[in-house]
Structure 1
Amino acid sequence: MDNLYFLNSTWIMLGAILVIFMQAGFVLLEAGSTRMKNAGHIAGKTVFTFGLASIVFWIVGYGFIFGENANFFVGLSDFFYSGTELEGSSYSTAAFFVFQLAFAGIALTIATGGFAERAKLSVYLIFSVIFTALIYPVVAHWIWGGGWLAEHGKQDFAGSTVVHLTGAMAALAATILLKPRIGKFNKDGTANQLHGHNQVYTALGVFILWIGWFGFNAGSTLGVEEAFFGYVALNTNLAAAAGAISALLVSWVVFGKSDVPTMLNGALAGLVAITASCAFVDTWAAVIIGLIAGVLVFYSMRFFERMNIDDPIFALSVHGLAGVWGTLSTGLFATPELATVGLPGLFYGGGWTQLGVQAMGVAVSGAYAFIVSFAALYVLKKVLGGLRVTPEEELIGLDMSEHGSYGYPEAFELKEHKVAK
């Protein structure tokens, strides 16, 4: 075992730890962005869905992505992954498995964001199995596992399509079938603001995600050769910073006030957008990609609301539209020197070919994730007699109705005491 093998394996394992730690960021982000009566539920479901995803990924998910004897859709080996190391590999394949598992868990967390504040716990459980076994691995195999989109040269370095768009399209299917939360929209279609209960939690969650993203993107180099991970990290940080700035400024111009949630979502949108292109573009392009992502997230948040789509954690804007933009951006900005996959972008003399491949990848991957998620949830709706809790349970909050205790017991005990008096 040489030093390079050890260093590469250590780097991949560090990346895996950072990506798994992003789940803590999602706990704070989602809990802070929703109401107090659902905070414990949000935190708890994040832990148990990641645990469930880990087992399903071990059984079939990894094999469907990276297994040999592949057909058009998936690989067909390495089920119940044993951890056996491959001879001749430049890194530990067991560490690589944990790294890939962490990505599957993030995609699932994005998907279940569309369930927030109204779905039954049983729906989370069953859909987590379906998503981790049949939805995420298929798209990941097409692009990362040597599937047909990989053969076309689809560029997605760390998952703007594989992770973020896939999760967002599943979230879209969920929020359409679940319908809006009680009180979100008036009879005339106008929207009410159901404010999250803790902006400090939300901001801390975003910072944890920002830090974790260095594992997400820079970790995807899968090695330490030439320290290229530093360049990927640089592009990642520039795009996040640009997204935060542009989202804050556009909200300031439009509203006359700088909106904190919009700014936070702008940072995340910049991170999502650069995820596909972080290894393929120049630093100035990373800034442009982040700036555009921040503007897009501001307007798309309001667009979905006008369409009467209730998206409590803004998964469709932050992960969906920003994921689309990030994927397409490589078809514009990928340089001849850095485009180790596919062709250079349109602005570097590569013509329209790579942009067309990127658009095709977005269309088919997004459609597959949405259609299968919608079909699975529609069947569950019929089998379970509905996807969402009763109106009474929703008004009480999922902390109490699904778990029998509040995430903030003292606050609610004080409220109930005042009502009783």
Structure 2
Amino acid sequence: MDLGLFTANNVWMMVATALVFFMHTGFAFLEIGLTRQKNTINILFKNIFIITGGLLLYYAFGFNLMYPGFIEGDLGILKFAGFGLESPEGGVTAAYAEGGYTYWTDFLFQGMFAATAATIVSGAVAERIKIGSFMIFTILYVGLVYPIIGSWKWGGGFLDSWGFYDFAGSTLVHSVGGWAALVAIAILGGRIGKFGKDGKPKAIPGHSIPLATAGVLVLWLGWFGFNGGSVLSADPELTSLVLVTTSLAAAAGGFGAMILNTILYKNLDLTMFLNGILGGLVGITAGADLMSPNEAVVIGLIAGLIIVLGVAFIDRLKLDDPVGAVTVHLICGVWGTLAVGIFGSLASGGQLLTQLYGVLIIGGFCVISSGLILLAIKATIGLRVSREEEIAGLDLHEHGMDAYSDFRINEN
């Protein structure tokens, strides 16, 4: 391969890595914007811990657990290539990864993905989980569960041999976080005041919708690296197609959520609009490289409708999800994965069944593993803060500081 092309590929992958890293800013803005002022430091602390802890875990053993080098005869379920990082022969030349990037860029790009699963859980459990308990969960889930599941497809494991397809992680990243978020909020219970004596959900407004809006726009920008980088090279035709399908699905998702919410609730809800955009992005992620622009619009539009219906459904189940993470990342992640069997160049009845099998297997593993981790933590050090701490705010009780030291409002 020409040195210039190899260099261009690697530079694009490093840019994509930076864009995925920037998504953590978006997640942080979105979460603090949709929650109350008194828990801002707590949420920011969790997000920073996820990035730093996740990267170190991925360095220590996650990368080699996710890409263990399955060979013919392996079951393709679990294998470990060793601790730490050591560039293989040819790891910094075009001989590695068909000239798409170097070994070091490969690690860093995948490491940015690893932390996203725990970030999804962070938003769902906001405002009532103990910080220490969340940190332990993150270490175990990001360090072990995520890379094992990733190895089944991206590491060449059994789902890959079956033909399961997930281009950039509708299931392998988003629903992995979404399943854990669902289990966590079921175990934790709702925030104080979320459900009245009649059982009906009550809105608990976030303290900064402008920050939440900025967060979604940052995430949309970061998704160009998330999906565009998953081409794994700077291939002009495929990369540009992926960016187009990604953007169209996002726009259609927001539009679909806005229209359906207006029809059902007679208001132009900005938060639903924002989550519709995210739902469209999650929905297209599994097949962004396979879809035509028309198909991307349809997938995104359906994801936007799912957002409105899904948020209402989660509320009816008396599950408290402050940022809509379960609907956005789990339900839309499942939809996007199944859409690969319905739309695009792989669409067929057989592919749809394969996609469904993958969703069910990964979902079952996530539910069982996250449930065991969370129940073990609950039985030992506890999961939830006290009533008094929750009412006063986690910033003061968990961190001893205010996010806005010169402006504190009374909150229930």
TM-score normalized by the length of structure 2: 0.95
What SS does the aligned partner of 1:410 have? Answer: coil
What pairs up with 1:323-402 in 2 under 5 angstroms?
Answer: 323-335=333-345, 344-346=346-348, 352-384=349-381, 386-402=382-398
The aligned residue for residue 11 of structure 1 is 12
What pairs up with 1:20-419 in 2 under 5 angstroms?
Answer: 20-69=21-70, 72-84=76-88, 86=91, 88-89=95-96, 90=99, 91-335=101-345, 344-346=346-348, 352-384=349-381, 386-412=382-408
CA deviations 1:312-344 (Å, max 9, x no partner) are 111110001000000000101121xxxxxxxx2
The letter for the 2-side match of 1:13 is M
For 1:112 and 1:390, the matched residues in 2 are separated by: 18
CA deviations 1:344-375 (Å, max 9, x no partner) are 203xxxxx100000001111111111110011
Q: 1:210 Cα deviation (Å)? A: 0.2
CA deviations 1:113-169 (Å, max 9, x no partner) are 222100111112111110112211111111111010000111100000000000000
The letter for the 2-side match of 1:391 is R
Q: Measured at CA, do residues 291 and 165 of structure 1 come closer, stay the same or move farther in structure 2, by a change above 3 Å?
A: same
For 2:86 and 2:52, the matched residues in 1 are separated by: 18
For 2:293 and 2:212, the matched residues in 1 are separated by: 28
The letter for the 1-side match of 2:116 is I
Q: Indicate if the aligned counterparts of 1:49 and 1:124 stay in contact, CA closer than 8 A.
A: no
Q: Indicate if the aligned counterparts of 1:251 and 1:257 stay in contact, CA closer than 8 A.
A: yes
The letter for the 1-side match of 2:323 is I
Q: 1:173 Cα deviation (Å)? A: 1.3
Q: Percent identity?
A: 38
CA deviations 1:2-49 (Å, max 9, x no partner) are 112211111111111100100000110000010110012111210112
Q: 1:71 Cα deviation (Å)? A: 5.0
CA deviations 1:77-128 (Å, max 9, x no partner) are 1521234552611121110110000001111101222221001111121111
CA deviations 1:362-400 (Å, max 9, x no partner) are 11111111110011110011111x201111000011111
What SS does the aligned partner of 1:331 have? Answer: coil
For 2:61 and 2:173, the matched residues in 1 are separated by: 17
For 1:92 and 1:72, the matched residues in 2 are separated by: 25
The runs of 5 or more residues in structure 2 that have no matched partner are none
Q: 1:215 Cα deviation (Å)? A: 0.1
What SS does the aligned partner of 1:406 have? Answer: coil
For 1:180 and 1:16, the matched residues in 2 are separated by: 36
The runs of 5 or more residues in structure 1 that have no matched partner are 336-343, 347-351, 417-421
Q: Indicate if the aligned counterparts of 2:69 and 2:155 stay in contact, CA closer than 8 A.
A: no
What SS does the aligned partner of 1:401 have? Answer: helix
Q: Indicate if the aligned counterparts of 1:217 and 1:232 stay in contact, CA closer than 8 A.
A: yes
Q: Measured at CA, do residues 415 and 306 of structure 1 come closer, stay the same or move farther in structure 2, by a change above 3 Å?
A: closer
Q: Indicate if the aligned counterparts of 2:124 and 2:321 stay in contact, CA closer than 8 A.
A: yes
The letter for the 2-side match of 1:268 is L
Moved over 3 A (4+): 69-72
Number of corresponding residues: 401
Q: Indicate if the aligned counterparts of 1:243 and 1:270 stay in contact, CA closer than 8 A.
A: yes
Q: Indicate if the aligned counterparts of 2:37 and 2:207 stay in contact, CA closer than 8 A.
A: yes
For 1:156 and 1:407, the matched residues in 2 are separated by: 39
